[in-house]
Amino acid sequence: MATAVEEGHKVVVLTATQTDAEKLASDLIEILGEEKVFTFFADDTPLAEFAFSSQEKVYNRLKSLQFLLSESAGILLVNLSGSRLLLPNPEYFKKIHVSFTIGQEFVLEHLVTSLMHMGYDKVSRVTKQGEFSHRGDIIDIFDINSQNPIRVEFFGDELDGIRVFDTVSQTSIETVSSVVISPASDILLSEKEFSILEKRLNEAVSISQNELQKSYLSEILFETEKKHLHSDVRKFLSLAYEKEWTILNYLSRADLLFIDDFQRIMEKHASFELEVADMLTIDLQNSKSLPNLVYFANNYIDYRQHKPSTFFSNFHRGLGNLKFDHLYQFNQHSMQEFFSQLPMMIDEIKRFEKLNYKIVIQVTTENALQSLQKNLQDYDFDLQSTLEKNIKVVAQVGHFSQGFQFVDEKFVLITEREIFQKKCDDEFVGKTLVMLKE
């Protein structure tokens, strides 16, 4: 995966859970750098995602979509629930931004409306990303991709100045001649989609025989008529969108898809389906839904059929009736844990040395590295800091989440997790790599 990115490709990795994706992201950042690793997460529990998805998570999703539509190389991690989120039409997402250039003319009322449609919250004073304020001929906007907000000043309808400023002191940091403002929400409706949603909600209200449901739907309808997004609007996106767009629709034919531990993903898919069905049932019982709503896209088959794809699975398990162009097998084992017993670790390292392995010992800080080297010297065991041709054991600073043993490559990584931390119940003993190409 990292090699594909270094060669200029865009890579998407699908995992069963957010925890799995976060571990992979941590290791990939260590290899590629933070600027090339993106995350697109939804809560693994559908009810939690609808109830309180964090702003940080939403902003990361937006940055991921921008990355997928860009020409940049990089890698994106998405968990199963994130892969099933209903998203805006990719063509509409490409267009929904505001560009400011000195001398450009705007109708301020329309500009304010556009910012609200893009998900920006109108406040009296901008303090954080995703907010804007409007005072006379001045509009302050805090873009989700910026460290500081901008202040756009108008003379009549003409844009007269653009300044980047500090939120605390309100003083200018720099002036710029142009800037582009990106969406601040992953729920974006075009004028046409607002109209479709309004029409279908009207129909639902008119035929409902349940007064509680009628009242609830009327609340959603009232906000929709004003072109505002109700807090529960995510439930009703399937009424507005003409198809179930997901992150898969943002991929190009050249983008590479990696599916991690396919059996776990199938198991998570089955349990997720039950949770979504339960959620819809409860909402219907509480008169807060409609029978024909689609909360999450059912795109499981689309992921199975996407090409080119690479599937990872343990020991050929759970591959079902998938057909592959190429099948590769490699042996990978989790690293033994030493519980701070350095003599035990030294014995294991010497065993690997006899088997002609290259061994890397990795700790997270320079101080920890010096301390480990000093402690090992007490046992007459010296560590080098560079992995040269004739040196089999090296210690370095790094941030991999856990160690491993690649049998075929004769390579071992030992991290602080194995040296010092308690044993984890989750042990991984091997993987089969299956590649499907066009």
Average pLDDT, the chain: 90
Pick the residue with more confidence: 5 or 185? 185
Residues 218 and 285 in one domain: no
143-156 residue pLDDT tens: 999 999 999 999 99
Structure tokens at 245: 């767009």
Four-CA torsion 171, 173, 175, 178, nearest 10 degrees: -110
Residues 304 and 255 in one domain: yes
Task: Please report whether residue 92 resides in a domain.
Answer: no
Q: How far apart are the first and last CA of the chain?
A: 18
pLDDT band at 428 (very low <50, low <70, confident <90, very high): very low
Residue 158: CA count within 13 A, CB half-sphere: 4
Task: Please report whether residue 91 resides in a domain.
Answer: no
Q: What is the pLDDT of residue 300?
A: 78
Return the beta strands (E) in 22-171 as ranges: 37-40, 74-79, 98-101, 121-122, 131-135, 138-141, 150-155, 158-165
Q: What is the mean pLDDT of residues 356-377?
A: 92
Task: Please report whether residue 196 resides in a domain.
Answer: yes
Task: Please report whether residue 436 resides in a domain.
Answer: no
204-255 residue pLDDT tens: 999 999 999 999 999 999 999 999 999 999 999 999 999 999 999 999 888 8
Q: What is the pLDDT of residue 302?
A: 83
Lowest mean pLDDT among 254-268, 270-284, 294-308: 294-308
Task: Please report whether residue 435 resides in a domain.
Answer: no
Q: What is the pLDDT of residue 317?
A: 56
CATH number of the domain to which 128 belongs? 3.30.2060.10
In the chain, % of residues over pLDDT 70: 92
Q: Show which of 181, 203, 233 is a domain's final residue.
A: 181
Task: Please report whether residue 111 resides in a domain.
Answer: yes
Q: How far apart (Å, rounded) are the C-alpha atoms in residues 138 and 155?
A: 9
Q: Show which of 211, 227, 243 is a domain's final residue.
A: 243
Residues 375 and 416 in one domain: yes
Q: What is the pLDDT of residue 329?
A: 77
> Across-strand partners of 326?
435
Task: Please report whether residue 421 resides in a domain.
Answer: yes
Residues 295 and 253 in one domain: yes
Residues 375 and 349 in one domain: yes
Lowest mean pLDDT among 123-127, 243-247, 316-320: 316-320
Q: What is the mean pLDDT of residues 377-382?
A: 90
Q: What is the mean pLDDT of residues 118-132?
A: 96
Task: Please report whether residue 90 resides in a domain.
Answer: no
Residues 235 and 255 in one domain: no
CATH number of the domain to which 65 belongs? 3.40.50.300
Four-CA torsion 267, 426, 359, 407, nearest 10 degrees: -50
Amino acid at site 40: F
Q: Is the pLDDT of residue 390 over 70?
A: no
Residues 170 and 250 in one domain: no
Q: How far apart (Å, rounded) are the C-alpha atoms in residues 67 and 250?
A: 10
pLDDT band at 386 (very low <50, low <70, confident <90, very high): low
pLDDT band at 424 (very low <50, low <70, confident <90, very high): very low
Q: Is the pLDDT of residue 82 over 70?
A: yes
Pick the residue with more confidence: 402 or 165? 165
Residues 117 and 202 in one domain: no
The three-state secondary structure class of 359 is strand
Number of domains in the chain: 4
Residues 311 and 351 in one domain: no
Q: What is the pLDDT of residue 318?
A: 54
Residues 403 and 415 in one domain: yes
Pick the residue with more confidence: 132 or 332? 132
> Residues 6 or more apart from 18 whose CB is under 8 A from it?
41, 42, 43, 44, 79, 81, 82
Residues 22 and 39 in one domain: yes
319-351 residue pLDDT tens: 666 667 777 777 888 899 999 999 999 999 999
Pick the residue with more confidence: 359 or 401? 359
Residue 168 lies in domain: 97-181
Q: What is the pLDDT of residue 437?
A: 45
18-72 residue pLDDT tens: 999 999 999 899 889 999 999 999 999 999 999 888 999 999 999 999 999 999 9
Amino acid at site 65: L
Q: Show which of 149, 181, 213 is a domain's final residue.
A: 181
Q: What is the pLDDT of residue 2?
A: 74
Residues 162 and 212 in one domain: no
CATH number of the domain to which 339 belongs? 3.40.50
- Per-residue buried b or exposed e for 296-313, using 16+ beta carbons within 10 Å of the residue's own CB: bbebbeebbebeebbbbb
Return the beta strands (E) in 354-422 as ranges: 358-363, 393-397, 404-406, 411-415
